[in-house]
Amino acid sequence: MCQPQQWTEAEEGSVHVISKHRNLSSVGTQLGRIIETGGLTIWPNLCVTWATELARVLPSHVVTAICGHTEKIAQDHYRIVTDDDIQTECRVTELWCKYGAARGRNRW
């Protein structure tokens, strides 16, 4: 099994595999360096993707604290609509058209 250098060289009893960059500021930059050190290629807009995924599961104030920017900056520059969002909207619209319209309900 292939294991990253940080894992194999971790001190006995270590809690974190990545311990050097525990500060929450510029996490995306540090994460990019760690990914490249592991021999992998980072994908475009790593910070944008990460902030968007975090926003799906965590409250906005937590995401902005982790990512190190304000909620306005997050809204204007980091939150994106994904293919999954479009697929979900299509399913919701399809269900509304099938069931809601048949019952005379107005979507808006």
Residue 37's pLDDT is 86
Query: Does 106 have pLDDT greater than 70?
Result: no
Tell me whether residue 76 is exposed, middle or buried, using C-beta atoms within 10 angstroms of its C-beta: 0 to 12, 13 to 18, 19 or more: exposed
Q: Whose structure tokens read 């999954």?
A: 84
Residue 44's pLDDT is 64
At 43-68, the pLDDT tens digits run 667 678 888 888 889 998 998 888 88
Residue 58's pLDDT is 92
Give the three-class secondary structure for 82. Answer: coil
At 70-104, the pLDDT tens digits run 889 888 888 888 888 889 889 888 888 877 665 66
**Element (H or E) spanning 20, and its range?**
none
